[in-house]
Amino acid sequence: MSYSNSTETGIRKLHKLLIGLLFSGLATVAAAAPAIIPRPPEIAASSYILMDAKTGFVIDEKNADESLPPASLTKIMTAYIAAEEIKLGNLSWDDMVHISEKAWRMEGSKMFVGVDTQVRVDDLMRGIIIQSGNDASVAMAEHIAGSEEAFADMMNQYAEVLGMSNSFFMNASGLDTEMYYNRMSARDLATLARATIENHPEHYAMYKEREFTYNGITQPNRNSLLFRDRNVDGMKTGWTDAAGYCLVASAERDGMRLITVVMGTANEEARAVETQKLLTYGFRYYETHKLYDANQLVSNVKVWSGEQNSVDLGITDEVYITIPRGQAEEMSASMELDEVITAPLEQGQVMGTINVVLEDDLLYQGDVIALQSVERAGIFKRFIDWLTLMFTNLFS
């Protein structure tokens, strides 16, 4: 990485600065005891992943990029697109949706909407999320895109935008046919779950509702973990012969939110048990740690030929990392800067990089910026600084 303020010889110097009290609990510990973490549990699933929702850090995974039939986990994308349409103003929670004969005739799990009736978007969303209604999914798809086929094109476009590189959609419900079925990977599902949680908290709140009644029929949420674990507040189950029993779940405890995906388990109980294993492991042995606040001061360095003699350096955005539980005090930080920094400097100008390590692992690397502008000094001060630098270099 090159920097604009280079020395006369153009040689960059690794400027190691131990940052004391950069953030709560960060210090260098000379003889730190290593974190003792057992290996992850054995998970009886074709594919799975355990992710920190805040940082995107993957704690454990197996076959996470394998593209598999997702069954009703497809409906997470269907509901996500509906939430996006609401956010964009193209759809309202109170809009009425016409139920076509195709939607009404859908097999499998149903919301039990009536043909040629009008159903509120708000109710359809709960029918998709809580009751896993194939009829509700098709009705929503037709309302948004005109046809389920056109909606599938939207699903694939959203997948590309979100970076879901191992997903492909052909319908809005996830129902398999003899001809085709959708495909998604565990990593893509975790990515989609994370986007739902971050971008649509109002919509995500529906996933924790334990039951929904429509047309006089009450159906419970199929995610049994909602009834077993008070930390779990989502997300969606799925099952077909091709997919097996699948579950995307999310839970929050002590300021940490985890996302799990298990695909291809043997039965309903197994998908809940295997998910619980992953959640227990993640919460017990890892934590989400805040490194920096936005625009947090991390150092102050000398500036030559400027109206001010120094400049504050900081981090642009909030920074969170995932670390082994109890290891925050064992991290150390260093910065790479130019040996000589000269004015003028602009506020927000990238001045170098900061590296945070735990033992030999690089946990974070990011830009450090100037927190203030520094104007170029007058000719007399520039001359004095030039002389000082010349003699410093001469006798160093």
The tokens for 282 are: 């993640």
Strands (E), 183-255: 211-214, 217-220, 232-240, 244-253
- Bond before 96 cis per omega within 30 degrees: no
Pairing state of beta strands 286-292 and 296-302?
unpaired
Question: Which 3 state secondary structure label does DSSP give 36?
Answer: coil
Pairing state of beta strands 256-265 and 319-324?
unpaired
Choice among 75, 110, 236, 277 that is catalytic: 75
Identify whether 132 is a catalytic site residue: yes
Element (H, E) at 298: strand 296-302
Q: Cα dihedral sign for 386, 388, 391, 395?
A: negative
Identify whether 75 is a catalytic site residue: yes
- Bond before 344 cis per omega within 30 degrees: yes
The tokens for 174 are: 């996830």
Q: Which residues contact residue 39 at a Cβ distance below 8 angstroms, ignoring those fewer than 6 apart? A: none
Closest among 90, 84, 280, 289 to 195, alpha carbons compared: 84
The tokens for 49 are: 């992943």
Identify whether 72 is a catalytic site residue: yes
Distance in angstroms (rounded) separating the CA atoms of residues 116 and 93: 19
SS3 content of the chain, % helix, strand, coil (to 5): 30, 30, 40
Radius of gyration of the chain (CA): 27
Choice among 47, 100, 109, 132 that is catalytic: 132
* First vs last C-alpha separation in the chain: 26
Choice among 47, 72, 167, 332 that is catalytic: 72
Query: Are 45 and 265 a contacting pair, CB within 8 Å?
Result: yes
One-letter amino acid of 226: L
Distance in angstroms (rounded) separating the CA atoms of residues 62 and 347: 45
Active site residues: 72, 75, 132
